[in-house]
Structure 1
Amino acid sequence: MKKSITYFENSGEENTDELISLVKDRLKGSNIKYVAIASASGESAIKLANALEDVTIINVTHHAGFHGPNQLDISEDTRSKLKNMGVVTFVGSHALSGVGKGIAKQLGGLNPVEIVAQTYRTFSQGIKVCAEITIMLADAGLVPVGEEIIAIGGTGHGVDTAAVITPVNMTKVFDIKFHEIIAMPRD
């Protein structure tokens, strides 16, 4: 089997449209039924929903309080628009930080989950995000464990990374399988 990987020269939102096009191409002729996207504001998820057909799209946004007490990064209007487009929006704690990161910030030190997250970041922030959202969605019952999906993540704003992954639940974190990297930034 031969596959190609697209490497973006830089990370960030300038890659969003091309990444969505690459995901659309990868879906052609495949049996993949789910696409997970990390889109805090929902803007990239709307672009994805406008581009794709015949797949279930799940958007993952930051948990409430990520940027301030009781705040969500996604507006109710955007959530409603996504829902009308058939996109579910998941709001929940990050699988690769969560409480452990909060304790480390407050008391100092490092926790094992942060080591796992940092290891993914050696490839790219987007690769870490792709792994993380698949775990979060598997734990929420929104994507199937043991079935390949496409996960989309990024660095800051927009999306710049996509991978074909078989999700696992948090309790089996080291059983996650990255089958293909569709695209990622080089920086």
Structure 2
Amino acid sequence: MKKEIYYFSESGTENTEKTVELARKRAKELNIDEVVVASTHGKTAKRVINSFGDENTNIVVVTICEAYSEEGWTMKDQEKKEIEGKGAKVLTCPHTLSAGIGESLENNSGAEGIVANTLYRFSQGMKVCVEIVLMAADAGLINMNQEVLAIAGTGNGADTCVVIKPSYTRKFDELEIKEIIAMPR
């Protein structure tokens, strides 16, 4: 099989529209109806919902946990209600690969830190894509018997999209990144 990967010359918000366009195209080609998207205040989530809205797609929006409310990074109740009103599920919980006890310690060299730092070698979005799929799986919000599309980014917006065979965090060794659709170079 021959498959192309779309590489962005820069990471960031300006890649969101193209990332979502590529995600929808590949989801149709592979008959994927499970999409997990990272979104802080709902802007990226709304773009995904609008793109996939006419499909029978399970969209799970993963937000940053309340531990980051002081930074202003947590989704407001009204933002959450608006997204849920469009039929998506919103998940807010501690991040599987960060925001845990290890982050508060000076030396975050535990398994989560090693996995997170390894995925960061690809991009921040790659780390987040894997993390949000694990979180959605652990919350019981995705079908574990089929591949899912994960969309995330660097800071704001989306610049990374991958196809993942999901697993639960406790069975992380069963997770498989099947395809990279787009990412920053």
1:40 is the counterpart of 2:37: no
One-letter code of the match for 1:82? I
Q: TM-score, normalised by structure 1?
A: 0.92
Q: Deviations over 1:41-70 (max 9, x none)?
A: 11100011011122111100001121429x
Q: How does 1:17-166 map to 2 (within 5 A)?
A: 17-52=17-52, 53-68=55-70, 73-105=74-106, 108-166=107-165
**Where does structure 2 lack aligned partners over 5 or more consecutive residues?**
none
Distance in 1, Cα, partners of 2:33 & 2:4: 21
Describe the SS at the equivalent of 1:68.
helix
Kindly indicate whether the alpha-carbon contact (under 8 Å) linking 2:134 and 2:168 is maintained by their aligned counterparts in 1: yes
Q: TM-score, normalised by structure 2?
A: 0.93
Equivalent residue, structure 1, for 2:171: 172
Distance in 1, Cα, partners of 2:31 & 2:42: 26
Kindly indicate whether the alpha-carbon contact (under 8 Å) linking 1:37 and 1:59 is maintained by their aligned counterparts in 2: yes
One-letter code of the match for 2:92? V
Q: Deviations over 1:57-112 (max 9, x none)?
A: 1100001121429x76212221111111101110010001242333424xx45222
Kindly indicate whether the alpha-carbon contact (under 8 Å) linking 2:102 and 2:108 is maintained by their aligned counterparts in 1: no
Distance in 2, Cα, partners of 1:76 & 1:55: 23
Distance in 2, Cα, partners of 1:104 & 1:146: 36
Distance in 2, Cα, partners of 1:134 & 1:142: 10
Describe the SS at the equivalent of 1:159.
coil
Distance in 2, Cα, partners of 1:127 & 1:116: 11
Describe the SS at the equivalent of 2:100.
helix
What RMSD, in angstroms, separates the aligned Cα atoms of the two structures?
1.6
Describe the SS at the equivalent of 1:32.
coil
